[in-house]
Amino acid sequence: MKKLSLLLLLSVFVFCGCSDDDDDVRNEIVINFDNQLPQSESELKTEEGVKETPTDYYYKWNFKDPNNLVEFTHYYSEMGFGGGFTYTNKTDITTPGFNNISAITAKGKNGKVYFTSNSNSFTPAQVTNLNPDKYEFKGAWITNTTYAYLAIKEGNDGSTPSRVKQFSNGDWFKITAVGYQTNGTEIGRVDFYLADYRDGKTKIVNTWEWFDWSYIEDAAYIQFELNSTDNSEYEGVSYMNTPSYFCLDAITLIED
């Protein structure tokens, strides 16, 4: 009788444990801009930006997703997109150079529209969570731009002579998502290799791959840093030759 009672107790415990796990399913929100560009081969255009100082080259403007869940930095000049984030449906996977902002996939992860970014100290790419009490960052899908892909694979950045080298054994191109609190305190970093020629590998990302941000899910905002083994130096200052461009799609938030 005691053994039977113990078995019944254990059965109830296991059943309740499974039930609790099922109740822990949290809703996800995927950021989508597919309805924002009705014309093909187009990109975000605006004249709403301002120059933070009269000597600045770029106008700066922040834009939000259609549901006002996240906000993105955007820099542009009379010549076009300069940095931060833009969204586009361009499909050119053959033309080298910075004027080509197409993803090497020629499309988004699930639709036609995706984000292209150029992130550096002058035009930092930042995505801000506008509802941190309700949502956390989960991650996004990531791939290379055509510009960066051809620079790495063929040593062709569209300039004459080219300023980049074709990757060889030991080279790599890495993006780091850096999470920050509202007051600017860093809470963590997550790396992803957009190209990896270490240890005999010859991988350049040319499909959409998942970039997991769960380690920095509590960030109020995320900035992106890019580093490469292809660097040069001018007057004692080191700079990266590999184009500091990448593409994101389906940025995903999860309920807090």
How far is 145 from 133, CA to CA, in rounded Å?
Answer: 33
Q: Within 13 A of 196's CA, how many CA atoms are on the CB side?
A: 10
Instruction: Give the SS3 label for residue 34.
Output: helix
Distance, in Å, from the CA atom of 250 to the CA atom of 25, rounded to the nearest integer, reads 20
Residues 228/173, Cβ–Cβ less than 8 Å: yes
Best CA proximity match to 29, nearest among 256, 182, 197: 256
CA 209 – CA 103 distance, rounded (Å)? 13
pLDDT in tens, 64-104: 999 999 999 999 999 999 999 999 999 999 999 999 999 99
pLDDT at 23: 53
- What is the C-alpha to C-alpha distance for residues 110 and 39, in angstroms, rounded to an integer? 18
Q: Is the pLDDT of residue 54 over 80?
A: yes
Contact between 227 and 176 under an 8 Å Cβ cutoff? The reply is yes
Helical (H) or strand (E) element with 29: strand 28-30
Q: What is the DSSP letter of 192?
A: E
User: Hey, how many other C-beta atoms are within 10 angstroms of the C-beta on 159?
Assistant: 12
Which domains, from first to last, does the chain contain? 26-255 (2.60.120.1350)
Condensed to tens digits (0 to 9), the pLDDT of residues 184-214 reads 999 999 999 999 999 999 999 999 999 999 9
Specify the pLDDT at position 148. 98
What CA–CA distance (Å, rounded) separates 135 from 199? 39
Computed over every residue of the chain, the mean pLDDT equals 91
List, in sequence order, every residue forming a beta bridge with 130; answer none if it has no partner: none
Q: For residue 124, is the peptide bond before it cis, meaning its omega torsion is within 30 degrees of 0?
A: no
* pTM for this predicted structure: 0.89
Please tell me what DSSP assigns to residue 145. Answer: B
